[in-house]
Structure 1
Amino acid sequence: MPVTPTRKTTLADMVRLGRNPSDSLEKAGREPTTSPDELSGRHGYNADFLTGWRVALPQPAGDIRPLRRGGPGAELRYQNFSVIMSASRRLPLITAVNIDGAQSRQVPRTDVWCFDGRLDKDDQWGDALYDGNALDRGHMVRREDPVWGTLEEARTANADTFHFTNCCPQMASVNQKVWLGLEDYVLRHAKVDRMRVSVFTGPFFGANDLAYRGALIPKAFWKVVAIVTENGRPSATAYKVDQVQALEHLKFVYAGYKTFQISIRSVMQNTNIDFSALIPYDGFSQHEVAQGTELVEPLDSFESIRV
């Protein structure tokens, strides 16, 4: 017997082929939270990691989100890395990681992103910002970087990198190219003392960042790399990658990126993070002080990097 439809079908009723109709279109609201107890005992970034050169965690000026539970201060300590969060932007101001290439391990990727229970959920952006668009959860501390030490320590570090406190919204064209290879290149080619590197990463926050889903999407990111060269010389370098062109196409397609080597002085001036202790070891900063002009070099390949 034929059935007479009682209402019309709307676009919201339609289901894409290949998707289980029982699945939610969004993951937001289902993210797990790591408890403060589970994260207790993490030592975080080590200022004395580089042989003969103490590099303290650079401190941001203002807009810092203190821990709400699990300890004093604002430093979120994880296995082999640390994060300081922005209170207003709900994204990291700075991340700091120690990389030991001699003890590096390969462990399976987890891809389960979690809230950090030492902060409130409203202090950190979750999947509501990333679901159903072209934005990646861009690791600030790359997954492989802190994965070293004992097997248990490496597994812990791997899981720790998948906290929303360690990511910023990045277009895939940015996230999957230069940023993934920069530390690899420095680690392989700089001949660092005992293959050790300390890396600081974060976003450039600006008043004209893209407003999207209640957040402001950074248009550019910075990275500062500190090493001790084979001849014992401390070296600090800085890099910038922008995603302005990519963000113009956020709702449409992936687009390109631009990467530059810049001065640590420039990073300090544009982030209000105190990198003054590293400026004497950065040739770009010293050139700017001597010449009075900003030095920016496009990086067409990793071979263009100067340390």
Structure 2
Amino acid sequence: MNELTPAPPAETPQTAQAAPSAGDLAGRQGFDEQFLGLPLPIPELPDVDTILLPYTHFSVLLRPDKRLAAVTALGIDGARLFDLDRSGINWRLDPRVPADQQTGEAVYARNDIDRGHLVRRASAVWGSSEAEAAQANRDTFYYTNSAPQAADFNQGMELWLGLESYLLDHATDYRRRLVVFTGTIFSDKDPVYRGVQIPLRFFKVAAFIQDGALAATAYIVDQTPQLAELPDVPSPGAREEAPPLGPFRTFQVPVRDVAALTGLDLAQLEAADRMPAASALPTARVATTWRLLSAPEDLDLDFDLER
């Protein structure tokens, strides 16, 4: 989840561009499981119906029951990034999926909820040509790659967005490549708004090659509102008014905690976790070892990023 894009004014129609067809997305290769030079598949969600949607440089594992992605998978080639803007690109539904299985414009209209990129736009915009990078740029604006997020852009959100760049710039990774899995964490505390469950937490797991071996580090961002904002908010259920969302707080967490909270199969990444607490406290309960981050320098890793 990543880059936030404010909703356009009501008078700006989302249909200003021609609606894409399934043919427009034909040939998309999606996430490359060999991107790091070793097999790293998209995490599966056992016993839950999902739809795998390939785009340019990334894939989305969609949960039709939630109308949001369970996880996105992106390979970032830091040596081939382009600096492209988003001008002229509107959000649109993916024509390969029924509209009622996606969270579209109706959820974001006339409120303070933003469409948060799960695959960060700037991280996907790379390639061997500008045309390839531009296609990736456009692909990040399908609603399947968005999730409802707090509108206020705050320090916690800036940190969340910057983690990928920080790791890409400083980690001793293989060919300056990074894989990022990002997705939603659903719980019974999430409010339901306009028929869509609004996740209060999201996760990010970054994977790269360190000293010749797979390494991983995990993060959770929390937009749970402060208790003072909640006295008139009912228990989870359908709401007519947009629910309050709090400032983003970003935590470094063990990969196993992400697996426990989402149900995703992250065994390969759990074994590669480079957060010291993950190995030092292998039986610690979920959330007891989370590290609140205020800057990337607060990361706790068992290797030196500057090597």
| CA distance 1:191–1:174, shift in 2 (3 Å) | farther
Question: 1:172: how far off?
Answer: 2.5
182, 188, 205: which is aligned to 2:163? Answer: 182
57, 68, 74: which is aligned to 1:80? Answer: 57
Aligned to 1:120: 98
Question: 1:144: how far off?
Answer: 1.0
Task: Answer yes or no: is the 8 Å Cα contact 1:27–1:131 preserved in 2.
Answer: no
Helix, strand or coil at the partner of 2:29: coil
What is the RMSD computed on CA atoms of the aligned residues? 2.6
Structure 2: how far apart are the matches of 1:139 and 1:270? 21
Amino acid in structure 2 at the alignment position of 1:49: F
Correspondences of 1:24-173 after superposition (within 5 Å): 27=13, 33-51=19-37, 53-65=38-50, 74-110=51-87, 111-149=89-127, 150-173=129-152
Helix, strand or coil at the partner of 1:208: coil
Amino acid in structure 1 at the alignment position of 2:262: T
175, 178, 194: which is aligned to 2:175? Answer: 194
Task: Answer yes or no: is the 8 Å Cα contact 2:224–2:246 preserved in 1.
Answer: no
Correspondences of 1:239-250 after superposition (within 5 Å): 239-245=219-225, 248=229
Helix, strand or coil at the partner of 2:134: helix
Aligned to 1:20: none
Moved more, 216-225 or 172-181: 172-181
Question: 1:64: how far off?
Answer: 2.6
Question: 1:286: how far off?
Answer: 2.5
Aligned to 1:267: 258
Question: 1:63: how far off?
Answer: 3.2
Correspondence 1:300 to 2:294: yes
Structure 2: how far apart are the matches of 1:25 and 1:215? 24
| CA distance 1:278–1:140, shift in 2 (3 Å) | same
Aligned to 1:281: 272
The structure with the larger Rg is 1
Moved more, 207-216 or 282-291: 282-291
Question: 1:191: how far off?
Answer: 2.6
How many residues matched?
Answer: 275
TM-score (norm 1): 0.82
Structure 2: how far apart are the matches of 1:57 and 1:37? 24
Structure 2: how far apart are the matches of 1:262 and 1:158? 30
Question: 1:123: how far off?
Answer: 0.9
Aligned to 2:193: 212
Identity of aligned residues (%): 37
Helix, strand or coil at the partner of 1:278: helix
Higher relative contact order (CA 8 A, sep 6+): 2
Amino acid in structure 2 at the alignment position of 1:38: D
Question: 1:245: how far off?
Answer: 1.6
Residues 257-276 of structure 1: per-residue CA shift (max 9 Å, x gap): 21100111111111111001
Amino acid in structure 2 at the alignment position of 1:236: A
Helix, strand or coil at the partner of 2:215: strand
Helix, strand or coil at the partner of 2:297: helix
Task: Answer yes or no: is the 8 Å Cα contact 2:256–2:266 preserved in 1.
Answer: yes
| CA distance 1:258–1:252, shift in 2 (3 Å) | same
| CA distance 1:302–1:273, shift in 2 (3 Å) | same
| CA distance 1:117–1:87, shift in 2 (3 Å) | same
Amino acid in structure 2 at the alignment position of 1:142: R
Question: 1:215: how far off?
Answer: 1.4
TM-score (norm 2): 0.82
Amino acid in structure 2 at the alignment position of 1:244: T
